[in-house]
Amino acid sequence: MSMRNVCEKILLTEEKINLRISELGKEISEDYEGKEVTFISVLNGSFMFTADLLKKITIDSCVDFIQVSTYGNSTSSSGEFMLKKDLSLDIEGKDVIIVEDIIDSGYTIARLIEYIKQKNPASVKIATFIDKPSRRKQNVEAEYVGFIIEEDYFIVGYGLDYAQKYRDLPYVGVLKEHIYS
């Protein structure tokens, strides 16, 4: 774990995150009772959320990974989309839940949903660790949301990075401004 003091404040403690993820796992397990869910984890940001969420799922599940890149500057994305790692599993006829780290403008998830739907899954829902609804540019909503952040903060930790760093923090914090400006 990184001991550098890079956050001006901690928004979500490790304990708070664990509690919320247990609730989400229970909710998903109840909603899909008797079914099997294929989780599609969007790399790299959602690796930690995916691991912790899946430990709380009590129904049958599979997991696969996809990696996309959206172009833009380092703290916000544009509409461009490039597939860097495709799925390995065949998801045709499967009940899919896309697992994201954060929905900000919504461009990334909107393009991903389009892409996933072309593979004819039985259903597609979204689970996101963080939702920043005030920054939305695309009309997308996640069915399962860990935490809503209304303020326009740039946050790091628990998978979320700034320039590929700070993903290892076990909490979520607001990055000190002098680090990215």
Q: Which residues are catalytic?
A: 104
- Pick between residue 41 and residue 61 the one whose CB is nearest to ligand IMP: 41
Q: Does 155 bind ligand IMP (CB under 6 A)?
A: yes
Calculate the alpha carbon distances from 8 to 4, 104, 143, 174 in Å.
Answer: 12, 21, 30, 6
Q: In the 3-class helix/strand/coil scheme, how is 99-156 assigned residue by residue?
A: EEEEECCCHHHHHHHHHHHCCCCCEEEEEEEEECHHHCCCCCCCCEEEEECCCCCCEE
Binding ligand IMP (rule: CB under 6 A), the pick from 102, 113, 126, 142 is 102
CA-based R_g, the chain, Å: 16
Binding ligand IMP (rule: CB under 6 A), the pick from 105, 129, 131, 144 is 105
Q: Does 106 bind ligand IMP (CB under 6 A)?
A: yes
Q: Does 131 bind ligand IMP (CB under 6 A)?
A: no
Q: In the 3-class helix/strand/coil scheme, how is 63-96 assigned residue by residue?
A: EEEEEEEECCCCCCCCCCEEEEECCCCCCCCCEE
Q: Does 128 bind ligand IMP (CB under 6 A)?
A: no
With contacts defined by CB under 6 A, name the span among 29-37, 49-57, 119-127, 154-162 that binds ligand IMP: 154-162
Binding ligand IMP (rule: CB under 6 A), the pick from 107, 129, 144, 158 is 107
**What is d(CA 148, CA 58) in angstroms, rounded to the nearest whole number?**
25
Q: Does 101 bind ligand IMP (CB under 6 A)?
A: yes
In this structure, what token pair is assigned to residue 20?
Answer: 């919320």
Q: How many residues line the site for ligand IMP (CB under 6 A)?
A: 16
- Pick between residue 25 and residue 159 the one whose CB is nearest to ligand IMP: 159
Q: Does 146 bind ligand IMP (CB under 6 A)?
A: no
**What is d(CA 119, CA 134) in angstroms, rounded to the nearest whole number?**
31
Binding site for ligand IMP (CB under 6 A): 45, 70, 77, 101-109, 154-156, 160
